[in-house]
């Protein structure tokens, strides 16, 4: 660390020095024999993070948002129906994206702080045939954690052909995700959250069922840059050690991603241990908040993310009372994002090396700052 500033927003997160160093790799050709296996190994390692044997990864230069376009443009044909489980800001976005590419979208809106209930999902799936169902695993705007396993089970039972699409931007590598065992069709994410890499990489894994749906679609793909018709041969080639070209991959960022994936999949005692560290750190932050009398945005602790904490300001306090006081202590947290409650809450991220590298003491720093900020805000208000 060059600056004595602790970045604990729910992404981008603190990035390990080795990963930053890899991002400064000397410039390399994207088709060189040195680089090809690096991208190939990233494809294999991201499968390990999600416990999948044969899902097809797509690693494309772009923000996490590009994953929505990939789903909308490759898996849903114009006029087909999509069901969006909306647990916050990012549900709105995914619905908007699907409509842009011609899907007919129905939404089930959860109340703020809640996930959509199983009975509502079941009812909707029985009433209408959907090509895809989408949900946000952890909605970064609220910290609500949806029960991915239960949602996937419900879909398979009630509407077996509906593709289960999980927006896992704020959950991959901070929540335990079993893509094959839970039978998820798409897991999409980005590099800058639990995966501990600078932003700029859209990461999406598609089940073989999803790939088949893509391959047998009857109308042309509706995106060019996000088209799997362009990227599938490229990803397969790189995994097989052969260079291929559609658009230039973000070479340096792939080196950085490779380093972070290596740390996540190999350097820790196990990846399960990494998830345990996230759960423990999360509990510590949440317990400290409870002791201070702060209320979480998620209504049910079971539906509360392990990589972030969303907390309402105490009655009578707002962003101006809290955020600058965190900043004065060198701790960067995030304000609200969900439009209905934007000015009423703030968010703390605790993902990646902040929880996995205990020598950093980041979780202690977060809790200390939280206690001091609440005390100072209250004392200066009296």
In the bound complex, what is the minimum distance in angstroms from residue 165's beta carbon to a copy of itself?
Answer: 15
**Six-digit token pair at 134?**
């989408």
Is the Cβ–Cβ distance between 159 and 82 less than 8 Å?
no
Q: Where are the alpha helices (DSSP H) in the chain?
A: 17-23, 36-49, 66-74, 89-100, 118-127, 148-158, 179-182, 208-215, 228-239, 251-262, 271-291, 319-328, 353-356, 362-381
| Rounded-to-integer distance, Cα 341 and Cα 353, Å | 30
In the bound complex, what is the minimum distance in angstroms from residue 91's beta carbon to a copy of itself?
Answer: 14
Is the Cβ–Cβ distance between 310 and 293 less than 8 Å?
no
| Rounded-to-integer distance, Cα 254 and Cα 94, Å | 26
In the bound complex, what is the minimum distance in angstroms from residue 282's beta carbon to a copy of itself?
Answer: 20
Q: How far is CA 233 from each of CA 47, 57, 161, 230, rounded to the nearest angstrom?
A: 18, 12, 25, 7
Is the Cβ–Cβ distance between 234 and 178 less than 8 Å?
no
In the bound complex, what is the minimum distance in angstroms from residue 157's beta carbon to a copy of itself?
Answer: 31
Which residue lies nearer to a copy of itself by CB, 84 or 115?
84
**Six-digit token pair at 333?**
């947290």
Chain-centre distance for alpha carbon 204: 10
Q: Is 325 annotated as a binding residue?
A: no
Which residue lies nearer to a copy of itself by CB, 9 or 158?
9
Which residue lies nearer to a copy of itself by CB, 66 or 310?
66
In the bound complex, what is the minimum distance in angstroms from residue 64's beta carbon to a copy of itself?
Answer: 7
Which residue lies nearer to a copy of itself by CB, 29 or 340?
29
Is the Cβ–Cβ distance between 226 and 55 less than 8 Å?
no
In the bound complex, what is the minimum distance in angstroms from residue 100's beta carbon to a copy of itself?
Answer: 4
Which residue lies nearer to a copy of itself by CB, 168 or 253?
253
**Six-digit token pair at 85?**
């489980």
* DSSP letter assigned to residue 340: T
* DSSP letter assigned to residue 140: T
Is the Cβ–Cβ distance between 261 and 195 less than 8 Å?
yes
In the bound complex, what is the minimum distance in angstroms from residue 118's beta carbon to a copy of itself?
Answer: 29
Which residue lies nearer to a copy of itself by CB, 225 or 312?
225
Residue ranges in contact with a copy of itself by CB under 8 A:
1-3, 5, 7, 9, 11-15, 20-21, 23-32, 61-66, 68-69, 72, 96-97, 100-101, 190, 192, 198-200, 220-227, 245-253, 332, 334, 337
Which residue lies nearer to a copy of itself by CB, 24 or 382?
24
Q: Provide the annotated binding site.
A: 347
Q: Which residues are annotated as a binding site for substrate?
A: 347
């Amino acid at each position: 660390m060059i600056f004595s500033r602790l970045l604990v927003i729910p992404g981008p997160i603190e990035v390990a020095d080795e990963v930053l160093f890899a991002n400064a790799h000397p410039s390399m050709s994207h088709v060189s024999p040195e680089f090809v296996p690096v991208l190939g190994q990233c494809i294999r390692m991201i499968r390990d993070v999600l416990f999948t044997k044969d899902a097809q990864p797509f690693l494309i230069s772009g923000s996490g948002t590009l994953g929505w376009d990939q789903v909308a443009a490759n898996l849903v044909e114009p006029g087909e129906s999509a069901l969006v489980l909306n647990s916050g800001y990012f549900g709105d976005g995914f619905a908007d994206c699907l409509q842009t590419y011609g899907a007919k979208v129905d939404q089930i809106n959860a109340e703020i702080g809640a996930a959509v209930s199983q009975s509502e999902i079941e009812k909707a799936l029985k009433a209408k045939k959907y090509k895809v169902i989408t949900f946000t695993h952890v909605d970064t705007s609220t910290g609500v954690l949806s029960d991915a396993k239960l949602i996937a089970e419900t879909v398979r039972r009630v509407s077996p052909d509906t593709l289960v699409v999980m927006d896992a931007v704020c959950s991959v590598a901070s929540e335990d995700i079993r893509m094959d065992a839970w039978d998820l069709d798409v897991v999409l994410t980005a590099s800058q959250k639990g995966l501990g890499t600078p932003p700029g990489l859209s990461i999406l894994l598609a089940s073989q069922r999803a790939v088949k749906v893509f391959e047998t679609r009857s109308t042309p793909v509706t995106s060019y840059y996000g088209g799997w018709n362009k990227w599938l041969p490229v990803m397969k080639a790189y995994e097989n050690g052969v260079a291929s070209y559609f658009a230039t991959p973000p070479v340096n960022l792939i080196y950085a991603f490779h380093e972070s994936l290596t740390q996540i999949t190999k350097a820790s005692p196990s990846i399960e241990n990494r998830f345990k560290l996230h759960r423990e750190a999360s509990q510590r932050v949440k317990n400290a908040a409870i002791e201070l009398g702060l209320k979480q945005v998620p209504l049910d602790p079971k539906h509360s993310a392990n990589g972030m904490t969303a907390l309402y300001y105490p009655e009578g306090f707002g962003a101006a009372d809290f955020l600058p006081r965190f900043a004065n202590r060198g701790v960067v947290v995030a304000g609200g994002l969900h439009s209905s409650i934007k000015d009423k809450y703030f968010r703390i991220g605790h993902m990646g090396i902040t929880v996995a590298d205990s020598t950093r003491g980041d979780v202690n720093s977060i809790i200390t700052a939280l206690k001091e900020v609440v005390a100072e805000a209250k004392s200066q208000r009296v």
